[in-house]
Amino acid sequence: MAEAAVSTPEHASPRTQFKIPRLPGDIMIYPMIAGLLINTFCPQLLEIGGFFTAAARGGANTIVAAILLFVGAGISFKATPAAIKTGVVILIPKLVVATALGLVVAHVFNDNFLGLSSVAIISAISFCNMALYTGIMGEYGDEAERGAVGVLFFTAGPAVTMIILGVAGVASIPLGTIVGSILPLVIGIVLGNIFPFIRQLLTLGANPAIAVVGFQLGCGMSLTNFISGGISGILLGLIAFFVVGTITCVFERLLGGRGRAAVASSTVAGTAMTTPVALVEVSPAYAAIAPIAAAQIATAVIVTAVIAPILTGWYDKRFCKDTTEVAQSL
């Protein structure tokens, strides 16, 4: 009797679960798409009031500050000299090229190069997709290359873009704003290193906070803006990987590195989409281009994330095979 009560009919089939496909940067991209679709087809829903409207229209800068705090908590003081060198060697050409390209676009092309603005270019190129870099280097990199991510974290957030634009005179940004943009990251680093339990607590909050910012960004865009950013976003991704990546790779090899970390770091981070939004708060002149820049960056995130693992693997096999075998034999 008991067996009959729990038996499953012969015609019953196992329950299938629908799984959302994972994409690089999807923690921010999927919520952004949801906000974009709502704002495109049912914008009145965003004005319904209460907590939902606050989540859609609230101040993104508060969430960005939280992200920087959470990210900073995961940065360790105990980076090795080799890791610091690798990180600095990667950062120097990325920041120099980002600044140069951004200034050329701003002053020579009237801030519009094939649809790309200086904000989009500098924001996208300044810092890489940390999670993707960590994953790629976990497979192909050595200890120094893996540890370099701690240095790369220092360019996370809108502070770097603000500094570049402010110093270059492209945007009028007060010194206090720049310091305040860096401060959450610094506080996170200090707290994360002094109190291990705070590090564990704060680092877990980064992804949910990024998802909220993604939703807010989407709610500020329409499908028309997203489509218009498609081709130029692909161009931005190709520039970030092939142009900046090649220069960074050559620079690293000239200074004694393998160039492998430079290839893996030639990506665009999903969190770069927060930079145009943050800039609007301190320089309203960017209000018109911020949604388009965010859409372009979103496209570039996917483009570089697809290319980077494939070409890093090819580069490792083609140019680093001998050094990798020697390192593994030691």
Task: Kindly write down the DSSP assignment for every residue of 146-204, as one continuous string.
Answer: HHTHHHHGGG-STHHHHHHHHHHTSS---HHHHHHHHHHHHHHHHHHHH-HHHHHHHHT
Contact (Cβ atoms closer than 8 angstroms) between residue 129 and residue 269? yes
Structural domain contains residue 102: yes
* CB 264, CB 198: distance < 8 Å: no
Indicate left, alpha or beta for 157 from its phi (over 0: left) and psi (-120 to 50: alpha).
left
95 in Cβ contact with 155 (< 8 Å):
yes
**Which band of pLDDT confidence, cut at 50, 70 and 90, is reported for residue 146?**
confident
Least confident of 26-40, 158-172, 238-252, 309-323: 158-172
Most confident option among 11-15, 49-53, 116-120, 251-255: 251-255
CA-CA-CA-CA torsion for 160, 162, 164, 167, nearest 10 degrees?
-130
- Residue 130, in any domain of the structure: yes
Residue 328: inside a domain? no
Domain count, the chain: 1
pTM, 2 dp:
0.64
Asked whether residue 84 carries a pLDDT value surpassing 90, the answer given is no
Angle at 221 between CA 219 and CA 224, to 5 degrees: 140
pLDDT band for position 86 (50/70/90)?
confident
Domain extent, residue 235, equals 31-38+59-318
Asked whether residue 47 is domain-assigned, the answer is no
**Lowest model confidence (mean pLDDT) among 4-13, 201-210, 293-302:** 4-13
What tokens appear for 180 in the block? 């305040």
Kindly state whether residue 165 falls inside one of the protein's structural domains: yes
Say how many Å lie between the first and final Cα of the chain, rounded.
66
What φ, ψ does residue 310 adopt, rounded to 5°?
-65, -50
Q: Is the dihedral of CA 289, 56, 279, 64 positive or negative?
A: negative
Nearest alpha-carbon partner for 210 in 23, 57, 65, 50 = 65
Q: Pick the closest to residue 123 from 263, 286, 261 (CA basis).
A: 286
Instruction: Please report whether residue 147 resides in a domain.
Output: yes
Q: Is residue 3 part of a domain?
A: no
Q: What is the pLDDT of residues 253-287, one digit of tens each?
A: 998 888 898 998 888 887 787 778 777 776 777 77
Domain-embedded: residue 114: yes
Q: Domain containing 218 — which CATH number?
A: 1.20.1530.20
